Structure 1
Amino acid sequence: MDKQTEIELEAAAFRRLRQHLMQDRNDVQNIDLMNLAGFCRNCLSRWYQEAANERGIGMGKEEAREIFYGMTMDDWKSQYQTDAGPDKQAAFETAFEENVTRKG
């Protein structure tokens, strides 16, 4: 497979993952994703931001999140986010430390 086709397939898979998380399963909470998989929608938007910045495209965290979410974080939270109990919050602290803080 040539490199351009590989890039296009990877981009298509990313777009499908985004659709799955943002439209098909917007009921799945970020905290649950982080606790189970070690990443969440915010991680994906941060990776998008980092990729843009590496290519000389200035992009901040909020801009990247709005691009990924298709709306502001405040709008996403008000429409889809539910409260997490203390057990989920404690598990999140561990998952965040293991998957985000340590990796930079």
Structure 2
Amino acid sequence: MEHTILSFVNIALEVYRYLIFGYVLLSWFPNARESFIGQLLGRIVEPYIGIFRRFIPPIGGVLDLSPIVALFALWFINIGLQSVLIYLFDLI
């Protein structure tokens, strides 16, 4: 049971990481974010990335580093959640 919770959290954060990658890749193609997939990914990913965009301005007005910082933060969140779950369920 506990390992199931641990792997669910890991898989959910991994899927979200891929959604962020997909959203960033869409920015490389003109009008791709206006497609159905682009809008769907935007609704899912933008609230999280928007937190970092408030504090990290684009470099030169073009290069947005907030998705990179968001991915690092998601990695740390994953490590923290895994540690808390291991501690709570005494999985060691």
Q: Which has the larger radius of gyration?
A: 2
One fold, TM greater than 0.5?
no
Identify the TM-score tier after normalising by the shorter chain.
0.3 to 0.5
Q: Comparing both chains, which one has the higher relative contact order based on Cα–Cα distances under 8 Å and sequence gaps of 6 or more? A: 2
